[in-house]
């Protein structure tokens, strides 16, 4: 059962990565066309889109940790205030 879950999880991650790269490729191509430049070849486009998605995921990962830390700190602070009022 756990193997099925891991397999599904891995498949979903791969699908998500492919969708992210596809969106990044579309945006990169749009940006080049808008600027009147020739779009990069497929290998360059693949490398650029991978870098963009990796950077975006790293930013999201860091920010979500910051947000989670802020939520926990705020919750602990409000708990202390509630205990002080009692």
pLDDT value for 34: 95
What CA–CA distances, in Å, run from 59 to 27, 48, 63, 64, 65? Answer: 18, 17, 6, 8, 10
Domain count, the chain: 1
pLDDT-derived band at 68 (thresholds 50, 70, 90) equals confident
55: helix, coil or strand?
helix
Look up the pTM and report it: 0.65
How do residues 3-57 score in pLDDT, each as one tens digit?
888 899 899 999 998 999 999 999 999 999 999 999 899 999 999 999 999 999 8
What is the extent of the structural domain holding 76? 2-85
pLDDT value for 38: 93
pLDDT value for 82: 61
Residue found under tokens 């990169």? 28
What's the CA gap between 45 and 28, in Å, rounded?
A: 8
What's the CA gap between 51 and 55, in Å, rounded?
A: 6
Nearest to residue 23, comparing CAs of 65, 47, 53, 1? 53
């Amino acid at each position: 059962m756990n193997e099925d879950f891991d397999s599904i999880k891995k498949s979903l991650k791969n699908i998500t990565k492919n969708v992210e790269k596809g969106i990044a490729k579309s945006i990169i191509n749009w940006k080049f066309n808008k600027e009147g430049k020739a779009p990069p070849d497929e290998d360059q486009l693949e490398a650029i889109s991978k870098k963009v998605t990796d950077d975006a995921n790293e930013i999201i990962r860091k920010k979500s940790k910051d947000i989670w830390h802020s939520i926990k700190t705020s919750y602990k602070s409000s708990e202390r205030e509630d205990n002080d009022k009692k």
